[in-house]
């Protein structure tokens, strides 16, 4: 089986005609499009040359943000008046495939997706030289920049939809990455100042024992901390804090190629996530550890079923087996396919192909 070709096929099959990527078609709680997942999926499609698919997603995001301009303006006005802001006042992290609000009790205030869409869009423009998107999407880009500029310090849910009362370095990485990427085109000093402030904040508030922490006030680790370097480049891959963070990820979260989210994870027992295994491999390509990157790629391929479908996580090695039955009873079997798993596999595949050809 050609895993890359099959992954492209699966992503295309699960892209809505309007451009949205469904997180997972067979898992009821994931039948939506997250801006964060979607931007990473779109970037994977860009990396394998499927630019029309990626462009359709960015058009969908643009239209979705424009549809929420009234909500944004109300939020800015409320903030200006010093009124208390409620979670429902903010833009959502996920939408229906038609770009509409979900109107449910999901922890929907997450800033990571808005940073990630700016980053992904910027990468798309660089790869395709489609500079007209900057003008075409100007209103949604400016609204997103203002949104992130005003609220980046606020606690909000992390990329795992948890810890809504905390500030998360991986979320700040997404915000930094998006602002820095779009500013390559805009060249604005206020954005430069903001990204510098975010980096300074991380160095001041998010370090424990010379490494980064899962969230401010924690001493734990999370594999999403890889985002601080790959792809958002808040810190270089050889920065001592990054090296120390990766070492702890390898010690506590890596198991024979499989990568756990964080040590305390009990979602479906806390298994090994394919997208994180690919992410660690992506980091390895950045620092020249190619044999280890290839091992990560092979591990992800080995978790693929006979139809070429990749799950969210596998449960061979979990943090707490007692939680597997609990989650299966509540939500069914682990999501499969998870489109983000296929996307990150494609990213690692593409990076290795560039380096070994």
Average pLDDT of the chain, as a whole number: 97
Q: Which of 117, 115, 122, 120 is nearest to 184 (CA)?
A: 122
DSSP state letters, 175-226? HHHHHHHHHHHH--HHHHHHHHHHHHHHHHHSEETTEE-SSTT-----GGGG
pLDDT (tens digit per residue) in 120-154: 999 999 999 999 999 999 999 999 999 999 999 99
Per-residue burial over 42-72, b if 16 or more Cβ lie within 10 Å, else e, is: bbbbbbbebeebbbbbbebbbbbbeebeebb
Q: What is the pLDDT of residue 106?
A: 80
Mean pLDDT, residues 110-123 taken together: 98
Give percent of the chain above pLDDT 70: 100
| Percent above pLDDT 90 for the chain | 96
Residue 25 vs residues 182, 266, 336: alpha-carbon distances, Å: 31, 23, 8
Per residue in 212-264, pLDDT (tens digit) is 999 999 999 999 999 999 999 999 999 999 999 999 999 999 999 999 999 99
CB atoms within 10 A of CB 283: 21
Confidence check: pLDDT of 116 > 90: yes
Indicate if the pLDDT at residue 107 is higher than 80: no
Annotation marks residue 158 as catalytic? yes
In which band, very low, low, confident or very high, does the pLDDT at 29 lie, cut at 50, 70 and 90? very high
- Phi and psi angles of residue 15, each rounded to the nearest 5 degrees, phi first: -100, 125
Predicted pLDDT of residue 160: 97
**Alpha carbons 201 and 224: distance in angstroms, whole number:** 18
> Residue 45: which residues within 8 A CB-CB, separation 6 or more?
8, 11, 51, 53, 54, 57, 343, 346
Catalytic residue among 37, 46, 112, 158: 158
What mean pLDDT do residues 332-352 have?
98
Give the residue-averaged pLDDT of 9-34. 97
CB 48 within 8 A of CB 344: no
Residue among 47, 44, 48, 52 nearest 19 (CA): 52
- Going by pLDDT thresholds of 50, 70 and 90, the confidence category of residue 349 is very high
pLDDT of amino acid 310: 98
* Residue 2 main-chain phi, psi, to 5 deg: -85, 105
Place of tokens 């948890």: 162
**Cα-Cα end-to-end distance for the chain:** 20
Q: What is the mean pLDDT of residues 58-82?
A: 97
Measure Cα distances from 350 to 56, 85, 152 in Å.
21, 42, 32
Q: Pick the catalytic residue: 161, 162, 320, 328? A: 161
**Confidence at residue 105, expressed as pLDDT on a 0 to 100 scale:** 79
192 flagged as catalytic? no
* pLDDT score recorded for residue 103: 79
From residue 128, alpha-carbon distances to 125, 144, 353 in Å are: 5, 22, 20
Q: How far is CA 95 from the centre of its chain?
A: 15
50 is an active site residue: no
* Burial of residue 272 (number of CB atoms within 10 Å: 0-12, 13-18, 19+): buried
Query: Given the structure tokens 């494609």, which residue do they identify?
Result: 346
pLDDT tens per residue across span 78-103: 999 999 999 899 999 999 999 999 87
**In the CATH scheme, what is the code of domain 3-356?**
1.50.10.10
Task: Kindly state the average pLDDT of the residues 278-306.
Answer: 98
| Confidence check: pLDDT of 48 > 90 | yes
């Amino acid at each position: 089986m050609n895993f890359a070709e099959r992954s492209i096929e699966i992503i295309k099959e699960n892209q809505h005609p309007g451009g949205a990527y469904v997180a997972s078609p067979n898992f009821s709680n994931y039948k939506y499009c997250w801006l964060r997942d979607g931007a990473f999926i779109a970037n994977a499609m860009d990396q394998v040359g499927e630019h029309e698919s990626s462009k359709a997603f960015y058009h969908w995001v643009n239209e979705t943000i424009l549809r929420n301009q009234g909500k944004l303006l109300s939020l800015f006005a409320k903030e200006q008046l010093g009124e208390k802001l409620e979670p429902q006042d903010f833009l959502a992290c996920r939408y229906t495939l038609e770009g509409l609000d979900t109107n449910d009790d999901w922890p929907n205030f997450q800033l990571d997706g808005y940073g990630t869409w700016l980053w992904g869009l910027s990468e798309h423009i660089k790869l395709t030289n489609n500079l007209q998107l900057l003008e075409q999407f100007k209103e949604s880009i400016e609204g997103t920049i203002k949104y992130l500029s005003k609220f980046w310090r606020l606690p909000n849910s992390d990329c795992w939809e948890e810890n809504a009362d905390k500030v998360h370095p991986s979320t700040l990485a997404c915000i930094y990455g998006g602002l820095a990427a779009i500013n390559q085109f805009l060249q604005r000093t206020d954005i430069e100042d903001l990204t510098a402030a975010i980096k300074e904040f991380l160095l001041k508030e998010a370090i424990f024992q010379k490494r980064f922490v899962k969230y401010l006030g924690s001493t734990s680790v999370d594999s999403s901390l890889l985002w601080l370097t790959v792809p958002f480049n808040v810190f270089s891959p050889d920065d001592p804090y990054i090296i120390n963070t990766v070492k702890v990820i390898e010690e506590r979260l890596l198991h024979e190629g499989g990568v756990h989210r964080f040590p305390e994870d009990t979602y479906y027992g806390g298994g090994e996530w394919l997208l994180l295994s690919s992410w660690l491999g992506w980091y390895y390509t950045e620092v020249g550890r190619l044999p280890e990157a290839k091992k990560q790629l092979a591990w992800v391929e080995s978790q693929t079923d006979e139809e070429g479908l990749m799950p969210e996580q596998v449960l061979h090695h979990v943090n707490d087996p007692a939680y597997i039955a609990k989650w299966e009873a509540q939500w069914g079997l682990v999501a499969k396919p998870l489109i983000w798993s296929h996307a990150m596999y494609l990213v690692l595949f593409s990076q290795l192909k560039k380096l070994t050809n």
